[in-house]
Chains A and B, each alone.
Chain A
Amino acid sequence: MKETIIPIGPFHPLLEEPELFTLKVDGDTVIDVDVRIGWNHRGIEKLSQGLTWDQVPFLIERICGICSTSHPYACVLAMEEICDIEAPPRAQYIRPVVAELERIHSHLLWLGLAGHFIGYNTVFMWAWKYRELTLDSLEQLTGNRNHYAMFKAGGVRRDFSQKAMDFTMKAMDETEKATKMFLGAVLDDPVMHKRLKGVGVLTYEDAIQYSAVGPTSRPSGVDHDARRDDPFDAYGISHDKGVWKAIVLQDGDVFAKAACRILEILESIKIIRWCIENIPDGEIDAGVKEIPAGEGCGHYEAPRGEVFHYMRSDGSNFPIRHKVRAPTYNNLPTYKATCPGAHIADVALITASIDPCYCCTERVGVVDKLGTKHILTQDDLTKLSVKKTNEIRRKLGKTTYDPYAKMI
């Protein structure tokens, strides 16, 4: 059997962790996939052990620009576990608002990129257009579009102004309208059904075996959500009151993953509205002076899955151990289950489906056994994917759309 090896990467601009995928293909079908990570190593855990407790959340924010609330959230929960304190009530309502706004912008970002990969550039532009509303809200509430610097052990750094909260409520109305439009556009489109259903299926057993987390595992029927299962801050109360629920779907394919994310945006909007409506008055900071000796864990359901932080203190002003586990680390190995058997045209989509922010350009070199070398760019991969969508449209009697036709 003639076997072809396709390396993708290691440069993946816009991936959280630039990584190297090696695909083994037979003709057009993927047989095996190998993932190598470690290209984005910055030594954050070591750096964290040289910073004071107050500085650590600023560094931890910079692990990932898109999860820049989730990591500090888990980190301060770990610190609070060491101190055995809780944030004041108002801070407990401020935190989920920032975190859920982040989830909305992350999911809209993913939706846009997924649209781009299957040749629906309109979805890309629209999703990113409506994402700006969320970023505007974040800028009003926290002062920055990304990297909010809101979290500290025992509370938050800034209070919300009434004006900013009113702005956010209005922005959420708009976002809800847009999300419902996307829901209709994706879930009712026959082309999307044909293109996404049954592609890159992650079964329930595989999701458990590979320890997949978050929106990679929930569409496969794994009923797990850190916000609900180990409640903290306002999440527990709001879930008990029936404000929101964890989205669990059964199919496990790319279609279910897309649907799961869009439905999660709607749940996030509900949490934000409830938190802003019920936000109590009072202090926002418990005034933690020092962190005693001890160890603590914190976990939070980031947009991509559960993020876990472990911290140990010896009573000094530095953490002596800080361990971080990010969701993508768990989700990457699921390629082993989802990629084999798929077409190369689907690989861009399947690798994107765990949301590693796979967009932009990268080099893909095709090396076959005889040693001849072709270079496929990300554009070529996208073109293959667009071609497949157009074939499906043609079969369904729709007009074709090729965003690349005029570019070449």
Chain B
Amino acid sequence: MSLGLSGLKKSIWVYHVACSPCNNCDIEILDLLTPRFDVERFGIVLVGSVRHADALLVTGMVNRQVKPRLQELYLQAAKPCVVFAIGSCAVSGNFFRRSYNMAGPVDRAIKEVDPNAIIVYVPGCPPKPEAMISGVVKAIGFLDNLKAKK
């Protein structure tokens, strides 16, 4: 686990899972890759397959159709894997918490299949790109602590 953790925080490859978002967090995630923020400086790359990913960027509320697919994606990712719940919808459900199609926020959906999952919350509607970078930095700090404990 320790070797995996130190490898994980070197250069985080992320896979983007849009549950049922309003698209806003998603374009802000893409914004991170473009010249103003350019997170590739830190080795953060958006990858096309969940099997290459170190982290899942989950946006949007989780509806009934999406929930089993999100869980399947998480199970397919190589562990250890960090889940970033990006935006108020992913963190708490925001406006949609009362919707009949809501199947719980991201953390509850993920913890159903893996109770020990590492989940990082980035609230905001949408969170600014700076907030997302800050979330990643905090996640790396957390992984450092986890490694020290082991």
Contacts and interface: CB of A to CB of B under 8 A. Distances in A.
A binds B: yes
Interface of A: 11-16, 18, 38-44, 46-47, 50, 58-59, 62-66, 68, 109, 112, 124-125, 128-129, 132, 145-147, 357, 359-361, 377-379
Contacts of B26: 13-14, 65, 357, 360
Nearest to A139: B128
10 contacts: A11-B69, A14-B27, A18-B20, A40-B20, A42-B63, A65-B24, A65-B26, A128-B35, A146-B24, A361-B48
Given A39-B66, A59-B95, A62-B95, A124 B34 contact: yes
A13 B17 contact: yes
Nearest to B15: A361
Q: How large is the interface on B (under 10, 10 to 19, 20 to 34, 35 or more residues)?
A: 35 or more
Contact of A65 (B20, B94, B126): B126
Contact of B23 (A47, A59, A65): A65
Task: Rank and list the top 7 A-B pairs by shortest CB-CB distance, nearest first.
Answer: A65-B24, A128-B34, A13-B18, A361-B48, A65-B23, A43-B99, A40-B20
Interface of B: 15-18, 20-28, 30-31, 34-36, 46-49, 60-61, 63, 65-66, 69, 94-96, 98-102, 125-126, 128
B35 A129 contact: yes
Given A13-B17, A359-B30, A64 B48 contact: no
Given A147-B126, A357-B26, 7 more contacts: A42-B96, A43-B99, A47-B99, A65-B25, A128-B34, A146-B24, A379-B48
A327 to B, nearest CB: 14
A314 B35 CA distance: 51
Contact of B21 (A38, A65, A68, A145): A65
A146 B126 contact: yes
Contact of B128 (A14, A38, A145, A378): A145
